[in-house]
Structure 1
Amino acid sequence: MFLQFSHSELHLTRWFPATTTAILSFIAFCFQKGYAPSSVTSVISAISYLHKMHNLADPTATFVVRKLLHGVTKLRTSIDQRTPVTKSILHQLVHSTPHISDCYYHNVLTAAMYLLAFHAFLRIGEIAVTSTAQEVRSYR
């Protein structure tokens, strides 16, 4: 993102090492375009990391850059779009399981997980385990 911005908006042929002025302009540009503060912060962190890896002065570590990022976060707070699962949503989830897989067994397991998680107030990490490819092969 910063590379494209440097070429198109600042007309720079080299963007690295970045200047504090270019970083500030990029943050303002992202704010005007409506980017989420977390997205801007991620890009700034990546730029910071590159400078540190090359043992260069970090232009993102200046007071004014940190304050501008803080201001962007304060001005554009994101609203949580998630809604709680109600009983009617739970019923929709359970009835939609036949569309997940052709395997009846997997659909019953999925419905059971939905019901257990809802009634026991569990999060997905409390009822599901991620497995590696090697573990999956050993069960077959």
Structure 2
Amino acid sequence: MQGVLGSVAPSTLRAYSAALAHFLAFAGAAGGGGAWPTSQDIVLRYLVHLKGSGLSPRSMRRDLAAVSFFSKAQGFPDPCCGFIVRRALEGWARLTPLPPDRRRPITLDILERVLRALPGLCWSPGEARLFRAAFVVAFYSAFRVSEVAAGSRSDTSGRALASSDLTCSPRRVTITLRRSKTDQRGRGSTVTLRAARHRLLCPVRAVRAFLECRPPHPGPLFIHEDGSPLSRYQFSSVLRACLQSAGLPPMQFGSHSFRIGAATVAADLGLPAPVIQSIGRWHSSAFHSYIRPTGGALH
């Protein structure tokens, strides 16, 4: 059982466990006993309950994935794979399509404006160097925020970049990405960032400047002066403050805008599809949805 639970990411296991607790509470109240094995009838009634609560088909599918996982982990048949369950989800998804992702890409021009706003928003030069390095690395590496920053300041999962994942030379920075959302088995990949002519936007200069003031602690790469890790909340909050200070609408952007921007800028430069896929470590044509128009005034 321990091996089965270890087959999914810790964050996924936490989400599954929370979803399972809700399902078992519903099953118990609905007369299902709240124990294994559960039935397709209870699952269907649970789906109707979730739909009535306003949950999206995507979230409902996530909750069913938890029930399916734990049921099979206990050695019982999957109660979520029946024809009616699958068709109900597909039907609701067709009737309630997902709203389009309208997050804007962070392009080189926008990144420069964000970075110029940093010194006036950070309480020390060291903090400004920290966020500059984190933002620049997120953009040039097309990283997800979970790969750059910790889940919280007390997060000890070790999933974000570690100081040991970095190799730095005068002209390049090499980053080992030990695992990612699409690499749960930890095969790993390597990202190489090269020096750029623009001093403010140069990833090598940004990383080296941060390392000069980074406390000499092992563990997460991006840490504050007190040694605590940069959290995803802090990453997003400072990004919003920089956008606001630069006269840009924060609500049109998000931490994922760095990854969207990497794909968009690569496409604008005319890079071929396989190269863009490689930049973002996409294993399918999903990268096309990350390429956004950059025209139009921002206000």
Aligned to 1:131: 162
Moved more, 59-68 or 72-81: 72-81
Identify unmatched segments of 5+ residues in structure 2: 1-21, 149-159, 167-216, 222-226, 228-299
Aligned to 1:71: 91
Cα offsets for 1:32-85 (capped at 9, x unmatched): 211132221122111112221222222111111111121222222222252334
Following TM superposition, the consecutive aligned residue runs of length 4 or more in structure 1 with deviations greater than 6 angstroms are 115-118, 132-135
Identify unmatched segments of 5+ residues in structure 1: none
Q: TM-score, normalised by structure 2?
A: 0.36
Using the TM superposition, give the Cα deviation of residue 107 of structure 1 relative to its aligned residue in structure 2, in angstroms.
Answer: 0.9
Using the TM superposition, give the Cα deviation of residue 11 of structure 1 relative to its aligned residue in structure 2, in angstroms.
Answer: 4.1
Task: Quickly say closer, same or farther: Cα 1:20–1:92, change in 2 above 3 A.
Answer: same
Task: Quickly say closer, same or farther: Cα 1:62–1:117, change in 2 above 3 A.
Answer: closer
Matched, 1:7 2:28: yes
- In structure 2, how many angstroms separate the alpha carbons of the residues matched to 1:90 and 1:11? 59
Task: Quickly say closer, same or farther: Cα 1:11–1:97, change in 2 above 3 A.
Answer: farther
Task: Quickly say closer, same or farther: Cα 1:103–1:49, change in 2 above 3 A.
Answer: same
Greater relative CO, 1 or 2 (CA 8 Å, sep 6+): 2
Aligned to 2:131: 110
Matched, 1:36 2:117: no
1:60/1:66 contact within 8 Å kept: yes
* Higher fraction of helix: 1
Percent identity, please: 21
Task: Quickly say closer, same or farther: Cα 1:113–1:52, change in 2 above 3 A.
Answer: closer
Moved more, 77-86 or 128-137: 128-137
- In structure 1, how many angstroms separate the alpha carbons of the residues matched to 2:94 and 2:143? 31
- In structure 1, how many angstroms separate the alpha carbons of the residues matched to 2:44 and 2:77? 16
Q: Which amino acid aligns with 1:131?
A: A
Number of residue-to-residue matches in the alignment = 134
Matches within 5 A, 1:43-122: 43-79=63-99, 80-85=101-106, 91=113, 94-96=116-118, 98-99=120-121, 101-108=122-129, 110-111=131-132, 114=135
Using the TM superposition, give the Cα deviation of residue 2 of structure 1 relative to its aligned residue in structure 2, in angstroms.
Answer: 0.9
- In structure 2, how many angstroms separate the alpha carbons of the residues matched to 1:92 and 1:25? 49
Using the TM superposition, give the Cα deviation of residue 5 of structure 1 relative to its aligned residue in structure 2, in angstroms.
Answer: 2.1
Task: Quickly say closer, same or farther: Cα 1:98–1:13, change in 2 above 3 A.
Answer: farther
1:23/1:59 contact within 8 Å kept: yes
- In structure 2, how many angstroms separate the alpha carbons of the residues matched to 1:38 and 1:132? 36
Q: TM-score, normalised by structure 1?
A: 0.68
* Higher fraction of strand: 2
Moved more, 128-137 or 65-74: 128-137
Q: Which amino acid aligns with 2:104?
A: T
Secondary structure in 1 matching 2:80: helix
Q: Which amino acid aligns with 1:38?
A: R
RMSD: 3.7
2:47/2:60 contact within 8 Å kept: yes
Higher Rg: 1
